[in-house]
Amino acid sequence: MSSAELYINLANICSNWNALNSLSNGVAGAVVKANAYGLGIKEVGISLAKAGARDFFVAVAEEGAALRRAIGPGPKIYIFSGHMVGDTTLLRDFHLIPLINSAKQLLFHLENSSNQLIGIQLDTGMNRLGMEATEFQELNETISKLKPELIISHLACADDQTHPMNENQLVNFNAMTKDINCKKSLAATGGILLGKQYHFDITRPGIGLYGGNPYSSAKRVIGLKLPVIQIRTVLPGETVGYSNTWTAKKITKVATVSSGYADGIFRSMSNKATLYYNEIPNSIIGRISMDLIGVDVSNCKEDPDYLWLLNGTQSIDDLADEANSIGYEILTALGQRYNRIYI
Ligand SMILES: *Cc1c(COP(=O)(O)O)cnc(C)c1O
């Protein structure tokens, strides 16, 4: 079998959730949008619900429905995109709570499903999703009567603890919500690390659960092991891969491993990233192709039959650095061809 193995450590995801829950002033929810950051909404959702998570967040109603099927009734599932045309039946049948983003969405919601639970999303400066201050103020009475389950906003710069935007958004959030009696939520992973005044009733960690920065004390969650298909010796002057971007300067032992950009190993890591054989680092040489990668394994004493791209030595953030990317993008790009092994 030549498909690579992606190990997903559900126990460590739960352990990260427990740690972030303990850090939170109130309780930690769990953000499982984008198929739980690429790791499997079903498996991750079930594990986190067992660990005690009671408030889940996803981007769109379809993800909410998939999560509800996996975890059953009980935990609350909030939808960041609110109530869109076409969502009404899903929201009702799967007991999903839309986070209403605008007066327009509120009106649409009331016209289509008057007895459903809602939450509200506010814009405190990011200008991405949520009601603006004036819009929210004008609707204050209507919204108070609807007794929202939760009011949230999202921080734009929480990964930088010293950024003045954090404090600005906190001030805005407090000002906008001071007269409404309702549970509140402002902090994602970065916000949790900013301190208790950012926590409110429910925090919303995503990346921290999956082992990524800015939660640097997170336990590692994934391992990625790529099988070696073939090993050859390349002589000085010979080239490796498409467009001859790498030329041997000395006799080089080259391994061709199974996986490529179709599996989420970005082409921009060509001639840059490192794969590990036990503790031995081995450089990618030449262009990454769709299904294959060339690696200089001259430093390995024996011929390796596999190489690790993600392991205890190389985290998603280390790898992201090689591609001018972020851990979030590495995770959500993880391909569908991997043999996924949950541990
Ligand atoms: C994605 C997202 C989160 C989770 O953010 P992390 O940085 O992954 O912890 C929380 N809230 C909102 C609104 C989001 O879009």
Q: Is 113 exposed, middle or buried (0-12, 13-18, 19+ CB in 10 A)?
A: middle
For the Cβ of 199 lying below 6 angstroms from any atom of ligand 1, the answer is no
- Give the residue ranges of the chain where pLDDT is below 50: none
Q: Which one is catalytic: 183, 219, 242, 342?
A: 242
Tell which residue, 82, 118, 116, has the closest CA to residue 101.
Answer: 82
Q: Could you tell me if residue 189 is inside a domain?
A: yes
Give the whole-number percent of the chain exceeding pLDDT 70: 100
* CATH at residue 129: 3.20.20.10
* CATH at residue 333: 2.40.37.10
154 CA closest ligand 1 atom index: 13
Pocket test for ligand 1, best of 56, 60, 80, 326 (most atoms within 8 A of CB): 80
Q: pTM for the complete prediction?
A: 0.97
Q: Could you tell me if residue 230 is inside a domain?
A: yes
* Residues in CB range of 111: below 8 A, 6 or more apart: none
Q: How does pLDDT run across 14-65, given as a tens digit for each residue?
A: 999 999 999 999 999 999 999 999 999 999 999 999 999 999 999 999 999 9
Q: Are 284 and 269 in contact (CB under 8 A)?
A: yes
Amino acid at 232: R
Q: Could you tell me if residue 2 is inside a domain?
A: no
Cα separation of 226 and 10, whole Å? 21
Q: Is 334 exposed, middle or buried (0-12, 13-18, 19+ CB in 10 A)?
A: buried
The CA–CA distances, whole Å, from 230 to 227, 237, 289, 301, 306 equal: 9, 20, 15, 16, 10
190 and 312 together in one domain: no
The 8-class DSSP code of residue 131 comes to B
**Residue 198 falls in the annotated catalytic set:** no
**Residue 33 falls in the annotated catalytic set:** yes
Specify the pLDDT at position 2.
74
What is the total count of domains within the chain? 2
Q: Indicate the Cα dihedral angle 136, 141, 147, 148, nearest 10°.
A: -10
154 and 252 together in one domain: no
Q: Are 189 and 217 in contact (CB under 8 A)?
A: no
Specify the pLDDT at position 1.
60
Specify the pLDDT at position 293.
98
Tell which residue, 227, 230, 252, has the closest CA to residue 239.
Answer: 252
Q: Could you tell me if residue 4 is inside a domain?
A: no
Q: How does pLDDT run across 58-95, given as a tens digit for each residue?
A: 999 999 999 999 999 999 999 999 999 999 999 999 99
For the Cβ of 204 lying below 6 angstroms from any atom of ligand 1, the answer is yes
Question: 39 is in which domain, residue-wise?
Answer: 10-210
